[in-house]
Structure 1
Amino acid sequence: MSHTPMTVLVVGATGSIGRLVVAESIARGHTTRALVRDAAKARRQLPAEAQLVVADVTRPETLPPAVADVDALVLTLGSDGSGHASPEAVDYAGVRNILTVLDGRTPRVALMTAIGVTSRSSVYDHLLDWKRRSERIVRAGGLSYTIVRPGWFDMNGPDEQRLVFLQGDERRSGTPDDGVISRAQIAQVLVQALTAPEAEGKTFELVAEAGPEPGDMGPLFAALAPDAPGALDAARDEANMPLGKEPQRVRDDLDAVRARAHA
């Protein structure tokens, strides 16, 4: 795979995955910009080489400097389900707000959501539905993207390092039985997807099983089915979230991002 250096913006940069994405991006030679709300706190958490930009995904007016001149975005947004960080405000609208302020830029996008995102389960207070809506708005945005749905974080054993890419989102128990993956490997997949042509336009679930790490992710990306052009959902996903039953504000957002993509 190509390792062409880029300017990469990591959104969700101080989260447990985002911090590793920042480090992985720097290690692979990219100029790496971290979107943070608190620069002093972030400086204690992130490598010195990271460029910090203070902004808030829930406040679109703060975002234009963060996306200026970026070649790629890694979106690892995550909410805690309360107040400022509700699933709708962060997991969904945060992604929408980033796409809205691109103003004609066409960066490569890697979005992290979650395994089981299509389950329609209310167990997580509709968190997964909002993550799925973030996937849909990325697909509608006309950008080159990869969407990664990792399994349960850091529950794999030391002998479980072999990456497995799945499609169809059929593992929906809501338990680690759905699959496990290390945070470090999630970060590696997200960053490597940015420079892998084989990963473009693809959505997959990411788990690790018994065996060694792969030396090259290219064949894993290449074996995936691409998402259908213009489709809201991923290849092989169950069609269980009808657009006509979506909230009007969500449909309006999709219409707006599609209009910008074709402007």
Structure 2
Amino acid sequence: MNDRPTSVLIVGATGSVGRYAVAEALRQGYRVRALVRDGARGRRLGDDVELVLGDLTRPDTLTAAVDGVDGVVFVHGTTTRESDVRDVDYAGVANILKALGGRRVRIALMTAIGTTRPGVPYAEWKLRGERLVRASGNPYTVVRPGWFDYNDDGQRRIVMLQGDTRQSGTPRDGVIARDEIARVLIDSLSSQAADRKTFELVAETGPEQRDLTGVFAALETDAAGSLDGATDAAVLPLDREPETFLRDLDAIGTR
């Protein structure tokens, strides 16, 4: 595949971050396809967006969505209920990866700051989605944003952290605007410096940078063959993982 994808599928395109991701991808010159369940809602994204009807919980509806694209941006999300995150957030990642059938694409995955908090069931399923992406063999960037839109007007400087050490479960962990989340995800698609990077995304006081190459480059790269992000604590031993995840790992993983 080319270093920079040309056609991008946005999963969760009509959501609160997804709409920004669509606009940013169009601005950067990508051909944009949106996976939507509701065609009427999807049409609000504009005439420049190709709509494909599908449901992340129904794998048989996803083949057309991934056909021909060379980039996938995951910005879908539900609630903090374990069942929702397991059955939609996690399963959506697993089902899209399976629908690709091993074909390589560039992936940008949005999860959340605090994903490695031990003993938090919904966070564990988000982390399992990350692990499938790492195991898939695709080039990827995993972005864990802080709390959406809690930033002040002057708080626009993009900061990328690693190790997932901010785990209060409150805005004290970090804040970031939704449009900046989208910008970082879309920027990562064309940046070699962002490949195989996992980081927490927050904003601090100051203006937004025009070029994020140096910010991406300063991050530690995820270890080859590892299921976990660089400097993350290992909180999910494989021998204790649920069968659902282990089956998906066997179906998707290249290790």
> Normalising to structure 2: TM-score of the pair?
0.95
Checking the alignment, whether the CA contact within 8 Å between 1:8 and 1:32 is kept in structure 2 is yes
In structure 1, C-alpha distance between the alignment counterparts of 2:232 and 2:126, rounded to whole Å: 14
In structure 2, C-alpha distance between the alignment counterparts of 1:139 and 1:166, rounded to whole Å: 18
Distance 1:171 1:81, change over 3 A: closer
1:10 aligns to 2:10 (yes or no): yes
**Structure 1 residue 248: Cα displacement:** 1.7
Q: 2:23 matched to which residue of 1?
A: 23
Is there any run of 5+ residues in structure 1 with no aligned partner, and where?
Answer: none
Checking the alignment, whether the CA contact within 8 Å between 1:23 and 1:47 is kept in structure 2 is no
In structure 1, C-alpha distance between the alignment counterparts of 2:183 and 2:47, rounded to whole Å: 20
In structure 2, C-alpha distance between the alignment counterparts of 1:127 and 1:193, rounded to whole Å: 26
In structure 1, C-alpha distance between the alignment counterparts of 2:250 and 2:108, rounded to whole Å: 22
Distance 1:131 1:221, change over 3 A: same
In structure 2, C-alpha distance between the alignment counterparts of 1:145 and 1:207, rounded to whole Å: 19
In structure 1, C-alpha distance between the alignment counterparts of 2:81 and 2:167, rounded to whole Å: 24
In structure 2, C-alpha distance between the alignment counterparts of 1:151 and 1:174, rounded to whole Å: 10
Find 1:222's aligned residue among 201, 204, 217.
217
In structure 2, C-alpha distance between the alignment counterparts of 1:225 and 1:182, rounded to whole Å: 24
Is there any run of 5+ residues in structure 2 with no aligned partner, and where?
Answer: none
Checking the alignment, whether the CA contact within 8 Å between 1:5 and 1:31 is kept in structure 2 is no
Q: Work out the number of aligned pairs and report it.
A: 254
Distance 1:114 1:54, change over 3 A: same
Find 1:89's aligned residue among 87, 90, 100.
87
In structure 2, C-alpha distance between the alignment counterparts of 1:181 and 1:198, rounded to whole Å: 21
Checking the alignment, whether the CA contact within 8 Å between 2:197 and 2:220 is kept in structure 1 is yes
Aligned counterparts, 1:83-162, within 5 A = 86-122=84-120, 126-162=121-157
Paired letter, 2:101: D
In structure 2, C-alpha distance between the alignment counterparts of 1:73 and 1:115, rounded to whole Å: 21
1:251 aligns to 2:253 (yes or no): no
Paired letter, 1:52: L
Paired letter, 1:62: T
Q: 1:75 matched to which residue of 2?
A: 74
In structure 2, C-alpha distance between the alignment counterparts of 1:227 and 1:149, rounded to whole Å: 14
Q: 2:198 matched to which residue of 1?
A: 203
Bigger mean CA deviation after superposition, 130-139 or 101-110: 101-110
Paired letter, 1:150: P
SS in 2 for 1:101: helix
**Structure 1 residue 47: Cα displacement:** 2.5
In structure 2, C-alpha distance between the alignment counterparts of 1:41 and 1:156, rounded to whole Å: 28
1:134-172, CA deviations, whole angstroms, 9 ceiling, x for partnerless residues? Answer: 000000101000000000000100111111100000000
1:212-243, CA deviations, whole angstroms, 9 ceiling, x for partnerless residues? Answer: 11111000000000000010110000112211
**Structure 1 residue 121: Cα displacement:** 4.3
Bigger mean CA deviation after superposition, 248-257 or 168-177: 248-257
Checking the alignment, whether the CA contact within 8 Å between 1:145 and 1:200 is kept in structure 2 is yes
Paired letter, 2:127: R
RMSD value, Cα: 1.7
**Structure 1 residue 82: Cα displacement:** 6.7
Find 1:169's aligned residue among 153, 164, 170.
164
Paired letter, 2:47: A
Paired letter, 2:35: L
> Normalising to structure 1: TM-score of the pair?
0.93
Runs ≥4 residues deviating over 4 A: 2-5
